[in-house]
Amino acid sequence: MTDLVRRLRGTVDEMRQAAGGALDGSDESLWFIYGALLNGNRPVDLLGYAVYVADLLASAADGVEVAIEADGNRVREVTATRSGRVQCVLTWVRSCAEDPAADNIVFKYLCALRDFGQPDRARVLSDQLALFAAR
């Protein structure tokens, strides 16, 4: 594990502790990230969220590989890949931070679940998203 990856994993651990159990490794923890993205974030927070979400996808579906693409200490992308389908998670997180109303992290995650063969889990989040939108 490179120093950069080690530091990013440490950032995710710190974020989990600071969130007081909200980042519990469940699909529902995406709602915490959605709320956090509404409040503005430092670049390191966005990286931490991207790594967390990619790891969440890896735990949700067999065969998902997480990669952190970097040039030295500059991260270009955090990806989750399964059977040739690539999800660019850092790009999602950045676009959701720029405009959370237009780019919803929960929606992007549930689409990735579908792509990675988890339609039942995606359906549960889709139902939650519909209830959220109806409020």
Instruction: Give the sign of the dihedral formed by CA 37, CA 70, CA 68, CA 25.
Output: negative
Crossing angle (nearest 10°) for helices 29-38 and 105-115: 140
- Phi-psi group of 21: left, alpha or beta (phi > 0 → left; psi -120 to 50 → alpha; rest → beta): left
Q: Are strands 65-71 and 74-82 parallel, antiparallel or unpaired?
A: antiparallel
Q: Render each residue's pLDDT in the chain as its tens digit; 135 residues.
A: 467 777 777 777 787 788 777 888 888 888 888 888 888 777 878 888 999 999 999 999 999 999 999 887 788 999 999 999 999 999 999 999 988 777 889 999 999 999 999 999 999 999 998 888 887
Q: Which residue's structure tokens are 């990013």?
A: 8
> pTM of the predicted model, to two decimals?
0.88
